[in-house]
Structure formats: C-alpha cells, structure tokens
Chains A and B, each alone.
Chain A
Amino acid sequence: MTRRGILRRPAAWALAMGLAVPAAATTWTVSPKGPHTKLRTVLSTAAANDSIRVLAGTYAEGALVIDRPLTLLGVGAPVIDGGQQGHVLVITAPNVTVKGFVITGTLVSNIHDNAGIHVDGGDDVKLLDNELRNCFFALHLVNTKRALITGNRILGDPATPETRRANGIHMWRCADAVIRGNRAEHHRDGIYFEFVTGSRIEDNLCRGNLRYGLHFMFSHRNDYAGNEFVDNGAGVAVMFSHSIRMTGNRFMHNRGGSAYGLLLKEINDSEVRDNSFTDNTTGLMVDGCNRVRAEGNSFRSNGWALRLFSNATGCTIAGNSFIGNTFDVSTNGDLMLNTLAANYWDRHLGYDLDRDGHGDVPYRPVGFFALLVERIPYAIIFSRSLFVTLLDQAERVIPSLTPDALKDDRPLMRPPHG
C-alpha cells in the first residue's frame, strides 16, 4: 500500500460518514464517451457501497483492483482487457458485485495464479452473468465466505495446450459458496475446490476440459446437484472429503485410458443419488471409500459401469439401473464389505415367481472376464469373443473366482426409472 492509498481511505470514509449520509450511495457511469472514460479512476474515487455502471466498450487499463464494497454493472457487455499483465480484476473487499462483463487478457504464468477475476477475502462477493474469455484461471477465489457465482460463461480456447491452461472456477479455503448455472469449457479443470466447505454447486455445465470437469479435495459438506459433466479428459475426480451429496448430475462421454464419469477416492459418509452415467470409460469408481450410498443412479453404455474396489467398506449400491454396459461391475480383490441390493441389471435372466418385483435367486454381476481384465488390462481385446461369453455364463452359474459377497440378492425385474 502506498502512502497515497493509506491517506485516501480515511478521507473517503470521512466523506461518506460526514456528507453522504442522506444520499447513501452514488451511481457512477463509465463509458468510452464520458462522463468518465477510465474505469481505474472511478474505482479509486468511488466511495464504499457506490454503484458503477459501465457501458459497452473496451476498457484496456491493465490489472484493476476493487478494494472497497462496490457494485459494478456492465451494460451491453463491456470488455475489460487485462492486456496480459497479471490478474484482470482483483477484489480484496467484501460485498462486491460484478455483473455482466466480458473479461479477458490474463497473463499466463507458471509462477502466479493469474485470473480473470481474483477474489481474496471478499466475503459475500457476487459474480453474475460475466463472460470470461480465454483466461488462464477464470474465477479464482481464496479465503472468501458466502460467494455467489451464477450465470457466468467461462470459455477457454480448445487449442490451448495443457501447460498454458488453468482452472475455470478455482476456490481455495472458501465456505458457504453458491455456484449456479455457470458454464466452464476448455480449461484445465472446470471447477476446482480445495478446502471448500458447506457450498452448493448446481446446474452448472463443465465441458471439454482437459483434465477434470469437477475436481475437489478436502472439501466437506458440499452439495452437487443437477450439474452436467461432458467430454472432459478424465471426467470428475473427487478425493479425501466427507459428507458430500451428489444428486441428479449427469456424467457423460468422459472417455479415455483413465477417464471416469465419477471417481470417488477416500470419500466418506456421502451420497450419490439419481445421477446418470452415460458413455464413460468407467462410470463410477469407488476407491477406498467408507459408507457411501449410491442409489437410484442410471448407468448406461459405459465401458465399466461400476468399479468397486475391495478397499471400500460399508458402501451401499441400491436401486440403480445397469443397462448396456460392457462390464456392469468389476472389482480387484476377494474381499467385499459392501452391499449390492435391489438394482436392475439388464443381463439378469432370473425369474420372479412370487411377483414381488425382485428376482428370486441372487444375481452375480461380476463376470469372469471382468476380473481377468482387471488383472490383465489388455485381455480386453477378447471382448465379445464367444469363448469369453461362455466363460462368463459358466462363472455366473458356478462362481469360483468372484467374491462370494458380491451379489445382488434381490435384483429388480424392471428398471426403477424408465
């Protein structure tokens, strides 16, 4: 902070307290035609709680800092171009609103996490309906509580190599955020959380990101609902967190050597409900998780619908439907401390004499071939060979290799949802 900065702040506060009490806040207008043409000048002279209307035009003024509670309204999608100097917009005060801007021109750096909008300690910040075009990080929030991030379009360039990409929405040590209705495309991770708690992430679309659509670690008690994760390099990976609820999300077309619709690693006491997993290499992978409930999900046309590792304990897989997957369930060991119950399996050929909607004999969803491929991955080229099909049937009738507990005692006769 310079001498001038220190001096100016008390002056502004004195002005606000002494003179502007009746007229609570001023509205400034910035436009290429005036009265004010420089956004930077207005940002440094406006008092706390003022509003600034910014009319259509391009404002290339380097990195801009918002260090007091202000409301910035873009009218006609004004462009703020950072000119590749670092961050574009930096928010260091609480209660800031930034709405309706086009933000571009972040400096790509291997040392600094430069962002389109960087928020540090800006509690109750509202970032609404902005477009972030080809930013390095797009929205980068640290140490911020109750952020509201809605309706932003975060669009990277598909041609950018991975080393020059960073995350779309990146949050570190935040709490109680609401992230709703945003699009994050062609970044490294679409949405990335570390140490973020008590937040709600809903109705977002993450598409074409090089690494993960959604990626979080050490982020507890968060809700993810109604999001769509499509065509991301490795799908969605979430790790080392507890009390997560994921409901009604769509995980689609995440294909590649180690791509997952949803990878759960070391996730405890969480819920994965009513999601759909379609056309992924692996739909849902459960690795080292405890007490995760996966219910009412639909798995369609995946390579592996569910990979349930034997280091997971107390997980419940119930009421899901498995349709048209190459492998329904696969595991990597003999131990199975999880429960499969009342799922619908399209390969299940059992009967239901008592007509209670459940098959009368247990169904074993793990085939011999699935286990073989788990052990020797490239044996996959025997997929759909007649010999393999026969072996699979034999293993289902007389199980010898599959874990004894890995069976569904009450398989559904009809899919639970359409």
Chain B
Amino acid sequence: MTMGKVLYYTLVDLARNRSVLAFAALLFVVAEGLFLVEGEAIKAVLSLVQVVLALVPLVALVFTVVYTYGAQEFTQLLAVQPIGRSAILGGRMLALGLSFLVALLFGLGLPLTVHAPGGTSLVLLVAAVLLAWVFLALGTLIALVNRDKARGVGTALAAWAGAVLVYDALLMALLFAFSDRPVEPFVLPVAALNPIDLARIAVTIQVDLAAMMGYSGAVYKKLLGSGPGIGAALAFMLLWVAWPTVLAFRVFRSKDL
C-alpha cells in the first residue's frame, strides 16, 4: 500500500517534470523522420536500431541518475515516515520503469506498428524496453553508491560509453589478435554478455546478418528465432535488470541518507 503511494506520487512528479515526455516526443520525431526519409521500411528500422541502441541506454541512465539525486530531499522526507525503505526505492524504480515503458510504447511502438508491423519491429521494441530497464537499474545503483552528484553522472557516462563503445572495441581487438585461432564459436556468446550487443544482434539477425554469416549465421538465426533461444535472451536481459536492482536495494537499506 505504501509502495503504491510512493509509486503514485513519483509518477505524478515525473509527469510534471516532462523530461520523459520530451524523450518520447524526440523518439517519435526521429522514428517518423527515418520512415519518411528511407524508402523501404526495413531500412528505416535498421537505422532506428542504431539510434535506439545508443540513445535509450544513455537517456535511461542519465535521467535516472539525475532524478535520483534530485529526489534526495524527498527521499529523506519519506524515510522519516513509517515507510519501509524497500517501499520507497521500489515505488520509485517502478514509477521510472513504467514511465519509460509508456514513453517507448508511444515514441517507438507507435511509429513501428504504423510503418513496419512485424516480428523485427516487435523484437526492437521489446529490446528497447528491456534496455531502458537495465540502464534504469544501473543508474539507480550508480546514484546510490556515489554520494557526489558529479561523480555519479561521470560514472554513469563512463558505464554507457563502456557498454556502447569500449566493450565492442575490446572484443574486436581480441578478435583481431586471435584471428588465426578457432574463436568463432565464442564470439557471439561473449558479445551477448553485453546487453546492448545482445539487443543489437537480436534485431539485426532478423534482418540482414544471418545471410551474411554463412553457416553460423543460419545457426544463430535459428537459435534466436526459436522459443528456447528467445527465452534465454529474455532471461539474460532480465538478469541484467535484476542484479543492479538487488544491489541497489541492499545499498539503499543500509545507506546513511
């Protein structure tokens, strides 16, 4: 009950804040623009993949961190009331998660269903929502661990760059170094450890990767198109949502506010 109240008031606050609304509008404009410019819908979806994979984690991460710091006084106020700390954090994270969900459904889901209804669009939308949640959880954890706001935002940006750029760069360097060894079977699983890469591969393999990868492409496509494969990918993404969330709760429970 108390968590419901925290959820409700955070949602009201987020609605008043309008940042999430602006994010939804931005996504909507970008998506509509791409569908307008690209002749074929599937090409627009592929361009959208790149935008979504970079933008959604960045916005989710930075907004969560900034919002968490901004809500510090409100948190202190709540903490002196007879409300459990889990309810405070749970309510806020749920509110953030819900508003990202709505923002993505409107900003991304609407253009996708209008211009390119189908499996690929669905995969992209689900991937975007899960990515938003992953980076919401990570952002909450980062903001709770770092007392200093500048440090927190810095860490968040570093985490984003790490996931979106550095991880791929390192992996490609390794690939290059070990190119004369049979490392092919490991490339996809290791790449998929990174939620952004997993999301990217899950979408692109539906469209253009499979045919260009020879046999392993066909295998991957079968894998990521089958029930157990999709289940495993979803489970892995949810794991990425779960572990920062669990850690955040542990930190928050004993944190000196």
Contact = CB atoms under 8 A, between A and B. Distances in A.
Given A324-B40, A375-B179, A387 B187 contact: no
Residue in A324, A381, A389 with the greatest tally of chain B CB atoms within 10 Å? A381
B172 A372 contact: yes
A375 B175 CA distance: 11
B233 interface: no
Interface stretch (A3-11, A73-81, A251-259): A251-259
Contact of B187 (A326, A381, A384, A390): A381
A281 interface: yes
Contacts of B200: 384-385
B170 to A, nearest CB: 10
Nearest to B170: A387
Given A326-B208, A375-B179, A389 B169 contact: no
Interface string A281-314: 1000000000000000000010110000000000
A259 B212 CA distance: 9
Contacts, number: 80
Contacts of A384: 46, 49-50, 200, 204
B128 interface: no
Nearest to A373: B212
Contacts of A304: 212
B209 A380 contact: yes
Interface stretch (B20-28, B92-100, B107-115, B213-221): B213-221
A257 B187 CA distance: 18
A370 B2 CA distance: 56
B85 to A, nearest CB: 37
B168 A382 contact: yes
Contact of B212 (A281, A376, A388): A281
A109 interface: no
B43 interface: yes
A377 interface: yes
B188 A381 contact: yes
Contacts of B197: 385
A330 to B, nearest CB: 11
Contact of B204 (A256, A259, A383): A383
A324 B43 contact: yes
Contacts of B38: 324
A416 to B, nearest CB: 16
A388 B191 CA distance: 14
A65 to B, nearest CB: 46
Interface residues of B, number: 37
Chain A interface category by residue count? 20 to 34
Chain B residues touching A, majority SS: helix
Contacts of A301: 40, 43
Contact of A377 (B49, B53, B165, B214): B214
Contact of B165 (A303, A324, A372, A387): A387
A36 B23 CA distance: 84
A382 B211 CA distance: 15
A256 B40 CA distance: 22
B30 interface: no
B164 interface: yes
Interface in A346-396: 372, 375-390
B40 A257 contact: no
Contacts of B171: 382
A43 B47 CA distance: 66
Interface in B22-68: 38-40, 43, 46, 49-50, 53-54
B94 to A, nearest CB: 30
A383 B179 contact: no
A387 B214 contact: no
A303 B191 CA distance: 21
A381 B184 CA distance: 11
A376 B209 CA distance: 15
Given A375-B179, A379-B172, A256 B187 contact: no
B248 interface: no
A285 to B, nearest CB: 13
B200 to A, nearest CB: 6
B176 interface: yes
Contacts of A382: 168, 171-172, 191
A378 B184 contact: yes
Contacts of A385: 168, 197, 200
Contacts of A389: 50
A376 B179 contact: yes
Nearest to A378: B184
Nearest to A389: B50
A377 B168 contact: no
Contacts of B49: 384
Given A258-B214, A303-B211, A381-B201, A386 B53 contact: yes
A46 to B, nearest CB: 54
Interface in A252-278: 255-259
A359 to B, nearest CB: 20
Residue in B169, B188, B218 with the greatest tally of chain A CB atoms within 10 Å? B169
Contacts of B184: 378
A383 B172 contact: no
A389 B50 CA distance: 9
B229 to A, nearest CB: 15
Contacts of A375: 179
A127 B53 CA distance: 58
Given A375-B179, A385-B197, A380 B212 contact: yes
Contact of B168 (A303, A326, A387): A387
30 contacts: A256-B211, A257-B215, A281-B211, A301-B40, A324-B43, A372-B176, A375-B179, A376-B179, A378-B213, A378-B216, A380-B217, A381-B187, A381-B201, A381-B209, A381-B213, A381-B220, A382-B172, A383-B204, A383-B209, A383-B212, A384-B50, A384-B200, A384-B204, A385-B197, A386-B54, A387-B164, A387-B165, A387-B168, A388-B168, A389-B50
Given A281-B211, A303-B212, 12 more contacts: A257-B213, A303-B208, A324-B43, A376-B179, A378-B187, A378-B216, A381-B213, A383-B212, A384-B46, A384-B204, A385-B168, A387-B168
